[in-house]
Amino acid sequence: MTMNVSELCNVNDQTIIRLRLLLLLFISSALTLSSSFVQADGKLLGTAGASPVEGGGGGGLIPWAMLAGYATQDEWAGVAAVSHTDMTDFRMNSLSVAANYHDRVELSFGRIDFRSKAGGDVTRQNVAGLKVRLLGDLIYGDEPVVSVGVQYKSLLDTDTARASGAKDTTGTDFYVSAARVWLDGLVDRTVLLNANLRNTEANQLGLLGFGGDEGGREWLFEGAAAVYLDRYWAVGVEYREKPDNLSALREEDWAGIFVAYFPSKSVSVTAAYLNLGDVAGESNQSGMYLSTQGSF
Amino acid sequence: MKILGLVTFLSLFVLFVVGCQSIGLKERGLQEQEVQGTHVQDDRLYRDLGGLQGIESLVDLAIEKIQNDPRVFHHFDGTNWDRFREKQIEHICVLAGGGCTYTGDTMIDVHTGMNINEAEFNAIADNIYRSMEKLDIPVGARNRLLAILARMRGEVIYR
């Protein structure tokens, strides 16, 4: 039996190896460069957010307007995060890294794995993200943070997308995002609000491909609201409108209620209960989400 | 679902605009009153900080942290710590609605020439906040003082 070159190379797993190397590169860069570059420490604790499943700075389900990590305008930051979602009939894992240059530009790479608990093949997707802070600040001054972002998504495993009737197996999302913190907001507690408008045709984040027989690109709303109980703990909610492009597989909006813990500027942990509606033909998907993020 | 999304987005957007405008207004109001050396406000924050004694403990602890903070202590070479302490106590007392009079220089005059950056400002805010934590000042009071200090950032950084 002969084997061709592509089987030997196994391009799909090379990408996850590349992501791990990128992670190592970030960590070693942080160690070697931290003496010559001004490395991140600058933002107030808890105001760097977490990392959503698609990577970059944000919450759990959606990106937020502020850039990943604790870099202020003279600094850089790196962030690495993993997440695990256990829903009724599926499991979803993500791994992402992001770099923040001077709190102006954020570059991120993420991988999402999605598989049925009933067995079968995994669906893997890469997400490459770029986010630019246009103006404003989360806490200070008169203007909220306003950012624009783009996410280039490509499926490594395209069988499910094709079988579902999706038009494409790669796609690009665009979004504009605004966020603000009121230090003494509700009942003297620190409050955060974030709102996104996303232009997308990705089915279930892109895991079921892009576009379909019942729709294409549209503008969708995403929002988050959080209250900081003290500097270390925040609770909040996220909401993500979804398209519903595939007649074969109904798609519903996602919602989550989360608790985030920021023991230091180096690490944060987020746990959430998610309500995901119908996913890939299975109804009433809900479950737990857990993610950990390291910042440097 | 789409209409709900649009309504929610518009409400949040309005909230942003109104919220940011009110912060802007507070900032301008604060600057005017600060120049006059008085602050017209109820004394709820002053009491929650523990009155004058509480503010003195807070400033003492904050100074200790600042003196040991490598991110910022280079800005304090040659500082007269007694005067710094006295003026800080007066300033916080005024900002918190206590009956003091601030006799120090304006924030702009004090910080001109130092070229303080965002990270250094946050480091000082952090030292003050951690001092309040250590003294068990209630969370609400911590946030209120931090919010007042945050509104002065424009007079402090990059001068």
**pTM metric for this prediction:** 0.85
Q: What pairs with residue A98 in β-bridges?
A: A79, A108
d(CA A214, CA B141): 53
Provide the residue-wise pLDDT of chain A in tens; the chain has 296 residues: 444 444 443 445 666 666 666 666 655 555 444 443 456 789 999 999 999 999 999 999 999 999 999 999 999 999 999 999 999 999 999 999 999 999 999 999 999 999 999 998 999 999 999 999 999 999 999 999 999 999 999 999 999 999 999 999 999 999 999 999 999 998 999 999 999 999 999 999 999 999 999 999 999 999 999 999 999 999 999 999 999 999 999 999 999 999 999 999 999 999 999 999 999 999 999 999 999 999 98
Instruction: Tell me which H or E stretch contains B55.
Output: helix B51-67
**Does residue B74 register a pLDDT over 90?**
yes
Q: What's the complex ipTM? A: 0.83
Cβ–Cβ contact A66 with B under 8 A: no
Are the Cβ atoms of B16 and A72 closer than 8 angstroms? no
Cβ contacts (< 8 Å) between B129 and chain A: which residues? 231
B74 vs B77: CA distance, rounded Å: 6
What does the pLDDT read at residue A41? Answer: 82
Exposure of B80 by Cβ count < 10 A (0-12 exposed, 13-18 middle, 19+ buried)? exposed
Q: Which residues of A touch B132 (CB under 8 A)?
A: none
3-state helix, strand, coil in chain A (%, to 5): 15, 50, 35
In this predicted structure, the answer to whether residue B46 has a pLDDT above a threshold of 70 is yes
Q: State the Cα–Cα distance between residues A210 and A217, nearest whole angstrom.
A: 9
First to last CA, chain B: 49
Q: Class of the A5-295 domain?
A: mainly beta
The pLDDT value given to residue A2? 47
- Give the whole-angstrom CA distance, residue A169 versus residue A207: 9
> Contact at 8 Å (CB) between A283 and A275?
no
Q: Is the dihedral of CA A41, B154, B144, B103 positive or negative?
A: positive
In CATH, which of 1.10.490.10, 1.10.760.10, 2.60.40.10, 1.20.1260.10 is domain B37-156? 1.10.490.10
* Domain chopping of chain A, boundaries: 5-295
CB contact under 8 A, B71 and A41: yes
Residue B35 pLDDT: 42
**Residue A165 and residue B159: Cα distance in Å, rounded?**
59
Question: Would you list the domain boundaries of chain B?
Answer: 1-36, 37-156
Would you state the structure tokens that stand for residue B51, as one six-digit string?
């009155």
Interatomic CA distance for residues A52 and A83, integer angstroms: 8
Cβ A293 vs Cβ A50: under 8 Å: yes
A231: closest CA of chain B, how far (Å): 9
Please indicate whether, in this complex, the C-beta atoms of B8 and A223 are within 8 angstroms of each other.
yes
A241 CB neighbours in chain B (<8 A) are 1-2, 5
B149 touches B125 (CB < 8 A)? yes
Interchain CB contact of B99 with A (< 8 Å): no
Per-residue confidence (pLDDT) for residue A213, from 0 to 100:
95
pLDDT of residue B42: 87
Contacts of A57 (CB under 8 A, 6+ apart): A48, A49, A50, A51, A63, A64, A66, A67, A68, A69, A79, A98, A100, A106, A131
Give the nearest partner residue to A220 out of B5, B21, B122, using CB atoms.
Answer: B5
Q: Is A73 on the interface with B (CB under 8 A)?
A: yes
Residues 6+ apart with CB under 8 A from A249: A164, A203, A208, A278, A280, A281
- For residue B22, pLDDT beyond 80: no
pLDDT, tens digit, for every residue of B92-146? Answer: 999 999 999 999 999 999 999 999 999 999 999 999 999 999 999 999 999 999 9
State the nearest Cα–Cα gap between B38 and chain A, in angstroms: 22
Nearest residue, CB atoms, B8 vs list A42, A142, A221: A221
Three-state helix/strand/coil letters over A71-94: CCCCCEEEEEEEEEEEECCEEEEE
Contact B76/B68 with Cβ under 8 angstroms?
Answer: no
Q: How far is B106 from chain A (nearest CA, A)?
A: 19
* Contact list, B147 vs chain A (CB under 8 Å): 182-184
CA distance B25 to A63: 30
Q: Do A180 and B146 touch (CB under 8 A)?
A: no
A294 vs A51: CA distance, rounded Å: 10
Q: Is the CB of A135 inside 8 Å of chain B's CB atoms?
A: no
State residue B3's pLDDT score.
55
CA atoms of B114 and B128, how far apart (whole Å): 20
CA distance A257 to A273: 5
